[in-house]
Amino acid sequence: MAHNFKSDIAVDWCPGCGDFGILTSITQALSELNLDPKDVIATSGIGCSGKTPHYLNIAGVHTLHGRSIPFATGIKLSNPNLKVIVPGGDGDMLGIGAGHFVAEGRRNSGLTIMIFDNEVYGLTKGQAAPTMALGERTKSLARPNVFAKVNPITLALTAGYSFVARGFSFDMKQLKEIIKTAILHEGSSVIDILQPCPTYNNINTMEWYRQRVYKLDEDKSWDPIITPGNEGQAAEKFQRAYERGSEWGDRIPTGIFYDNRTIPSFHKRLNEFVPNYYSNPPATQVVIGSDGYTPIDVEATFPEKIIH
Amino acid sequence: MDLSLTIGGPQGGGIDTSSNMINRAFAEAGYNVFGVREYHSNIKGRHSYNHLRVKEVRPRSLKYPVDILVALDPDTIFEHLEDIGEGTKIIYDKSFETSDLAQARLIMRDTARRIKDTLDSASVPNTIKGALELARKKGGIPMAIPFSEVVTAAISEGPASRYFNTLGSAITLSIAGLEQKFAEEAIKQVFSSKPKAVEDNVKVVAAAYVYAKENGFAGKNLKVLPKIKRLLLTGNDGAAMGKLMGGLRFQTYYPITPASDESSIMEEHEHLKYVKAEQNKLREGGVVVVQTEDEISAVTMAQGAALTGSRSSTATSGPGFSLMAEGISFAGMDEVPIVITLYQRGGPSTGLPTRNGQSDLLFAMNTGHGEFPRMVISSGDVEECIYDSMNALNYAHRYQLPVIHLIDKNLANTTDLVPDIDLKKVKVNQAVRPTTTRLSFKRYNLDTENGISEMGYFGNDVFWMTGDEHDEIGHVTEDPLVRDMQMRKRFRKLETALNEIPREEMVLLLGEKNADVTFVTWGSQKGPILDVIDDLKEEGIKANLLYIKMFEPFPEDFVKQVLGKAKLIINVESNMLGQAARIVKLNTGIAIQNNILKYNGRHMTEDEILKAAKEIISGKGKNLIEVLENGA
């Protein structure tokens, strides 16, 4: 029987929360990719989005606030054969964890990062998140937001992510397909997911987004993919992705902005130096000899330390 | 023979190469060398030095005054006036004689003022000539050598100054009476990958030996001892090796002194070679070393790796360890086996970034919010760094918790000649992975007497983890009963550890069982105190050492038993608060009254501990706390 990727834990998100659509899109994507549940791990941070791993019937870590990326990277690099998905909030990824978010773009470890973007810190009663625009005042704010917003798409692009996309939690068909493509992408991917918070964000509501979102691939000539042999297209496609990624307001683009398959993943880079990295990774290496002691020949490994 | 020497010069001026050469040359002749490296937080120019001791038996401490001071720049003479005593030979370039203190711009201003006071009160000019005059008054023997002339006679091309370190070292070896061939052999080893450098430096060595002989500096021939194979290792080396031997295959780090050398050494040795017996049985593998964006990432990434079954760790120093606090709390809550090697330097804050300290013990005991079990262990010499690193990984995996392994900067930068590494000393406790997938696996199974639940592996088992309190399969719970049960289960592991771990891995009583004086210490003071115990014995005072290696769980019974009947207890630590003594008091109720403490960032030397101990023993100590001040 096919594995049910939905766990039996009761979901405690607010009625009408955009997170439900994301959860369904993830479970459908995992099912359609026909992945073995033991080969996919979910790591999250803190907040409403942080609960996602518990709702998925795959191994999951609900880590610390902002630290889902390094946890995920450790899992992926210790066993590069696993798929690691990283659901997290906008505060998680772009506030407290922004340093890790940028560093992961440079690494390109092969994580599927999903930003649950609702512009507020919901679980702590609706404070402004890093994606909220300057001067915006949602109902729980004492005064208009005094911070300017960070743009997840252009930040991901400049950080070096090799796959950058945006989905809308109320368009599960599109979101599911984006997630599938991202999971199959060898390097790290970022999906900015527009996800209305019905309790604390009375401005960026489902209706508000519905009126504005459009799909990049409505334009038949839109082609964000760079394949090996076509590295020369990267600069121009990056430029176009950046331009479209900067668009926000009356029209908000969704879909895949950038999909560069020529940037070597971090595990590929490590594989240049670490023997048998893919077939005998740290996670599954036998580190003892048949007698239970270390098999390492210290003198052969560290010959320069010996004084004969 | 018991030869103490200091070789100093500008940071980046080849001081390490010099020490390496001196170490290897003496080792070639069968001698043992022990040394410590001191340096500023600076890339080039500021004063750096190596303090070494050469003996037939293995030295385990350093002492002042030194027998030979090699000055590769004028600053070294100014900085080390305090290290000069009766008979100290001072080797320096004749051209330094025209320097004065005012020109020594890279001596820290406060230090320069202090040097000025010293020179003024000795009524000598504030110049190298004045300093040498003072040195002579103290019994020192200045030996001016025309560095440039000697080098250019041997090598015509390139700047002569490039070879000053080799020249200074070779003159030192000649004064010590070591045959020239050993110095040449050392050069071959130090520059093994650069044939041209070997050729040139060997010429400089020859010139140095000729010069020393012609000018009557050469010492009388030192007897050659039978040579045995040894490994020239630092504490950083020992920890890196021990971790790899202990099965470490995933290491994270963010660059910080004095921890990052450990990780760099691993990066240089990613490809692990197996012993013959295992070569055909085990698949070749390597260690993954990741330089992270910060220490928060280092401690959490190592945990991610551990969840898949890797034996993983990170290494840091005080400032980075502070950033790891929340991550360590997670490891405690979620029972993640990781090792954090904490290289202590002088704090607080950035403190003394390149200097010694033992001020992070209490912090290591309490890092992170909430109550969770952890283990805190400490090493005191290079060999302990090796085997304790193996044990640390074993503990982490057996008890599924964070293990904090303390190594002080002094030990990290100690060089020692280790005769042998015993591959069969510590068994590695890698568990066999399950072969089937276990869905909804009870990772936090409460049905356990010793508190240890069966390990689960990502990539194999499906279960959950959360920093929140959790049920047996790892889902969030706020149920009061499950909370109590999980808390008790986690802490039961520490009782199990205390029962299972051999006492010798936790605490040792070194020296005679019955003694008049019982020292208490941890970390790198072990060696000097053992030497002090020998010194006291010669004076008819029986002393021993209660040497603590594990602070959590704490071997309370043994410590209580030893200290309960000790006649005079002297606690020795490199910090201001006597942190280990506080832990002893907390666990045993025994308050140690006499303390020898040092927090100026420099290594403790045999002579100063001896002096302070005698003050305390004779009852003449001004205070119950003797604060040591040696070191440039």
CA distances from B194 to B166, B187, B189 (A): 15, 10, 10
B425 class by beta-carbon count within 10 Å (0-12 exposed, 13-18 middle, 19+ buried): middle
Least Cα separation, residue A298 to chain B (angstroms):
8
pLDDT band, very low/low/confident/very high, at B625 (cuts 50, 70, 90): confident
Are A37 and A57 spatial neighbours (Cβ–Cβ below 8 Å)? yes
Which residues, 6+ apart, have CB-to-CB distance to B618 below 8 Å? Answer: none
A71–B232: do the CB atoms touch at under 8 Å?
A: no
Neighbour count for residue A15 (Cβ, 10 Å) = 7
pLDDT band, very low/low/confident/very high, at B227 (cuts 50, 70, 90): confident
pLDDT band, very low/low/confident/very high, at B169 (cuts 50, 70, 90): very high
pLDDT for residue B502: 98
**Domains along chain B with CATH numbers:** 2-214 (3.40.920.10), 233-418 (3.40.50.970), 504-627 (3.40.50.920)
For B510, phi then psi, to 5°, come to: -105, 140
B619 class by beta-carbon count within 10 Å (0-12 exposed, 13-18 middle, 19+ buried): exposed
Least Cα separation, residue A35 to chain B (angstroms):
12
Going B165 to B168 to B173 to B174, the CA torsion angle's sign is: positive
Cα gap B35→B59, rounded to integer Å: 9
Are A84 and A241 spatial neighbours (Cβ–Cβ below 8 Å)? no
**Domains along chain A with CATH numbers:** 19-271 (3.40.50.970)
Chain B neighbors of A54, CB-CB under 8 A: 464, 466, 475-476
> pLDDT tens-digit profile of B33-70?
999 999 999 999 999 999 999 999 999 999 999 999 99
Mean pLDDT for chain B? 96
Closest CB from B252, B270, B297 relative to A274 = B270
Q: What is the pTM of this model?
A: 0.98
> pLDDT tens-digit profile of A26-51?
999 999 999 999 999 999 999 999 99
> pLDDT tens-digit profile of A188-224?
999 999 999 999 999 999 999 999 999 999 999 999 9
pLDDT for residue B349: 97
Angle, helices B260-268 vs B235-245, to 10°: value is 60
B437–A307: do the CB atoms touch at under 8 Å?
A: no
Nearest CA in chain B to A73: B301
pLDDT band, very low/low/confident/very high, at B156 (cuts 50, 70, 90): confident
Mean pLDDT for chain A? 97
Least Cα separation, residue A238 to chain B (angstroms):
25
Least Cα separation, residue B245 to chain A (angstroms):
5
Are B257 and B236 spatial neighbours (Cβ–Cβ below 8 Å)? no
Cα gap B217→B264, rounded to integer Å: 40
Kindly state the average pLDDT of the residues B153-178.
94
Closest CB from B285, B307, B458 relative to A275 = B285
Pairing of strands B89-93, A252-260: unpaired
A302–B269: do the CB atoms touch at under 8 Å?
A: yes
Are B236 and B230 spatial neighbours (Cβ–Cβ below 8 Å)? no
Which residue's structure tokens are 């066999």? Answer: B432
With residue A62 as reference, give the H or E element that holds it. strand A59-62
Chain A neighbors of B398, CB-CB under 8 A: none
Which residues, 6+ apart, have CB-to-CB distance to B219 below 8 Å? Answer: B174, B175, B176, B177
B457–A51: do the CB atoms touch at under 8 Å?
A: no
Query: What is the side-by-side order of every strand in the sheet holding B568-573?
Result: B507-511, B543-548, B517-521, B568-573, B594-597, B625-627
Q: Does B139 have pLDDT greater than 80? A: yes
Nearest CA in chain A to B279: A295
Q: How many CB pairs under 8 A join A and B?
A: 264
Neighbour count for residue B12 (Cβ, 10 Å) = 14
A61–B390: do the CB atoms touch at under 8 Å?
A: no
pLDDT for residue A107: 98
A276–B283: do the CB atoms touch at under 8 Å?
A: yes
A293–B424: do the CB atoms touch at under 8 Å?
A: yes
**Alpha helices (runs of H) in B55-194, residue ranges in sequence order:** 74-79, 109-121, 128-137, 147-154, 164-176, 180-190
Interface probe with B: pick from A8, A279, A280, A285, most Cβ of B within 10 Å = A285
Rg of chain A (C-alpha set) = 21
Which residue's structure tokens are 């369904």? Answer: A24
A289–B277: do the CB atoms touch at under 8 Å?
A: yes
Q: What would the two tokens of residue B259 be?
A: 């921890």
pLDDT for residue A48: 97
Neighbour count for residue B180 (Cβ, 10 Å) = 20
Kindly state the average pLDDT of the residues B199-220.
95
Chain B neighbors of A103, CB-CB under 8 A: 292-293, 297
> pLDDT tens-digit profile of A94-123?
999 999 999 999 999 999 999 999 999 999
Q: Does B627 have pLDDT greater than 70? A: yes
Closest CB from A275, A286, A298 relative to B421 = A298
| Three-class DSSP category at B56 | coil
pLDDT for residue B193: 87
Kindly state the average pLDDT of the residues B433-441.
94
pLDDT for residue B290: 98
A297–B273: do the CB atoms touch at under 8 Å?
A: yes
CA distances from B293 to A101, B253, B320 (A): 10, 9, 11
Least Cα separation, residue A111 to chain B (angstroms):
13
> pLDDT tens-digit profile of B66-114?
999 999 999 999 999 999 999 999 999 999 999 999 999 999 999 999 9
A81–B464: do the CB atoms touch at under 8 Å?
A: no
Least Cα separation, residue A286 to chain B (angstroms):
7
Q: How many residues does chain B have?
A: 632
- Amino acid of residue B38: E
Using alpha carbons only, give the angle B444, A287, A300 rounded to the nearest 5 degrees.
155
Give how far the C-alpha of residue A63 lies from the chain's centroid of Cα atoms, to the nearest Å. Answer: 15
- Amino acid of residue A196: P
pLDDT for residue B10: 95
Chain A neighbors of B287, CB-CB under 8 A: 274, 282
> pLDDT tens-digit profile of A221-275?
999 999 999 999 999 999 999 999 999 999 999 999 999 999 999 999 999 999 9
Among the listed residues B559, B536, B240, the one whose alpha carbon sits nearest the alpha carbon of residue B392 = B240
pLDDT for residue B622: 62
Closest CB from B286, B459, B461 relative to A79 = B459
Cα gap B38→B50, rounded to integer Å: 6
